[in-house]
Amino acid sequence: MKILVVDDHALFREGLVYVLNGLENDLTILEASNYDEAIIYLNSHPDLDMILLDLSMPDKDGFVLLSYCRKNFPLVSAVVLSASKQQSDLNRALDGGALGFIPKDTTSKVMLNALRLIISGEIYIPSSMTLRKNNNQNTQETLTPRQQEVVNMMMKGHSNKKIALEIGIAEATIKMHATSIFKRLGVSNRTEAALMIQKLELFK
């Protein structure tokens, strides 16, 4: 497995590399301190599996890099590692295709478990930033516009494939949005999601 770490603080990268070595034995870790270095690594390592990126960098912010990665390297799992606790940053990251949002003050154990979850095909959202099921206003407000669009089409019975064709994005991205939506609603499948949406009276 090969992971690219993108952060402008050398000390943080050093600590993160130490933690990541506990992920698995056969692991290669690359380090970039800015956007330009990250682009070079992305283009020169076609076997890259994951990129861990900070949102706050001196040249271009992490959202620009996330967008570039999603557009040009859709098979690379992008994970945001940030000091931000803003719900808006979480929403923007997930809407941009990130598979996880890990706060920098997360313990090493939780971080490794989060990465293992992402590697297994899930999306990681810290529990402190998930939504309460009984707060319908917050639930709707913190779903991104794209996720609201996906929810509306799911409620009409459209398959992931049909939604992808209608919106014009990859089916895999629709699956990622669906997983994130389920987590936010506190459910595990479409049927439960539909019942919760009806209960909360969302999207009327």
For 38-64, how does the pLDDT look when each residue is reduced to its tens digit (9 = 90+)?
A: 999 999 998 999 999 999 887 788 899
Which is it for strands 28-32 and 2-6: parallel, antiparallel or unpaired? Answer: parallel
In this prediction the pTM is: 0.64
Statement: residue 131 has pLDDT above 80: no
Tell me the range of 63-72, 85-94, 129-138, 180-189 where mean pLDDT is highest.
Answer: 63-72
Q: Would you state the pLDDT for residue 135?
A: 46
Answer whether residue 165 shows pLDDT above 60: yes
92 confidence band (pLDDT: 50, 70, 90): confident
Q: Give the number of other CB atoms < 10 A from CB of residue 41.
A: 18
The residue length of the chain stands at: 204
* Closest-CA residue to 91 (of 133, 39, 35, 131): 131
